[in-house]
Amino acid sequence: MADFFALTCPNCGGKLQITNDIERFSCGHCGVEHIVKRGGGIVSIAPIVNGIKRMQTGIDKTAAELSLVRLAKEIEDLKLQKETLLKKYRSKAITVSKLFVISFMTDLIKKKDGGKPLSIWTPDKNWYICRDRFSSLTSGDIEYIFREGINNAIKPGHQNYESVQEFLADLRYLLTNIQRTQEIETEINKLKQLVQS
């Protein structure tokens, strides 16, 4: 058996001479570290970085799988919290000022949803329509309410002003909940792609 093997560096193409006792070395031409593989009468070399990349990919996939479990739990908690908040806010809306809630929800239905103005303007009929639409609020809806619908807000000095301000603060909290849910859903999709690759 020869004292050395003549091989080519897979990184730079430089000529290498590998002795029988070497298991790991750096290319004298480019400095890339290699590992010597022997088996079946064949001697080859592979950059160590490839092994590290495969190991890192495995670690990344495992971490992604663990993150998916954690995020799935977090998103379920957020959705449950959102449902609880919506029920609380619907009942609070009745005590705050039904007409105030109807005014900004009607604005949302007419302008953002492109719906027709409600033909029969009775507080009870409009309340049920607005209440149902309130149950499906999105982050875009809440942002619209703060950007456009607040023009209908009750002004300082009104008997329900403080209650309305509290209700709007609740809406901001709901917006935070919805936005966090959307962020997690985006993160989950990225992690699923990593796990499947």
The residue written with tokens 């990225």 in the block is 190
Question: Do 125 and 30 sit in the same domain of this protein?
Answer: no
Phi-psi region of 31 (alpha: psi -120 to 50; beta: other; left: phi over 0): left
User: What's the whole-number average pLDDT of the chain?
Assistant: 76
Q: Could you tell me if residue 53 is inside a domain?
A: no
Number of domains the chain contains: 2
Residue 51 located in a structural domain: no
Same domain, 11 and 94: no
DSSP 60-96: HHHHHHHHHHHHHHHHHHHHHHHHHHHHHHHHHHHHH
- The rounded Cα 98 to chain-centroid distance in angstroms is 35
| 192/72 Cα distance (integer angstroms) | 12
| 35 and 85, same domain (yes or no) | no
57 lies in some domain: no
13 with 97, same domain: the answer is no
Percent of the chain at pLDDT exceeding 90: 3
Question: Quick check: 113 pLDDT over 50?
Answer: yes
Instruction: Kindly indicate the confidence band of residue 128, based on its pLDDT and cuts at 50, 70 and 90.
Output: confident
Residue 158 lies in a domain: yes
Same-domain check for residues 32 and 106: no
Task: Give the tens place of pLDDT for each residue, 5-57.
Answer: 788 887 777 888 878 788 888 787 777 787 788 877 777 777 766 555 555 55
Question: Are 43 and 5 in contact, with CB atoms under 8 Å apart?
Answer: yes
Instruction: Enumerate the β-bridge partners of residue 133.
Output: none
Q: Are 150 and 182 a contacting pair, CB within 8 Å?
A: no
**77 pLDDT band (50/70/90 cuts)?**
very high
Note whether residue 129 is domain-resident: yes
Per-residue pLDDT, 67: 84
Judge whether residue 139 has pLDDT over 50.
Answer: yes
Number of residues in the chain: 197
Q: Could you tell me if residue 45 is inside a domain?
A: no
Secondary structure (H, E, C), 100-169: HHHHHHHHHHHHHCCCCCCCCCCHHHHHHHHHHHHCCCCHHHHHHHHHCHHHHCCCCCCCCHHHHHHHHH
154-196 pLDDT per residue, tens:
677 777 777 777 777 888 888 888 888 889 898 888 888 877 8
Domain residues for the domain of 192 are 64-196
Question: Is the domain of 126 the same as that of 175?
Answer: yes
Task: Please check whether residue 164 is in contact with residue 92, taking contact to mean a CB–CB distance below 8 angstroms.
Answer: no
Q: Which amino acid is at 157?
A: G
Question: Is 34 found in the same domain as 68?
Answer: no
**Would you state the pLDDT for residue 53?**
54
Regarding whether 176 and 90 lie in a shared domain, the answer is yes
Residues 23 and 105 occupy one common structural domain = no
Inside any domain, residue 44: no
**pLDDT confidence band for 122 (50 / 70 / 90):** low
Q: How many CB atoms lie within 10 A of CB 188?
A: 17
Pair 115, 176 in one domain: yes
Asked if 15 and 101 sit in the same domain, the reply is: no
**pLDDT band at residue 76 under the 50/70/90 scheme:** very high
Residues 109 and 149 placed together within one structural domain of the fold:
yes
* Cα 141 to chain centroid, rounded: 19
The answer to whether residue 46 is domain-embedded is no
pLDDT, residue 120, reads 47
Do residues 43 and 7 lie in contact, with contact meaning Cβ atoms separated by under 8 Å? Answer: yes
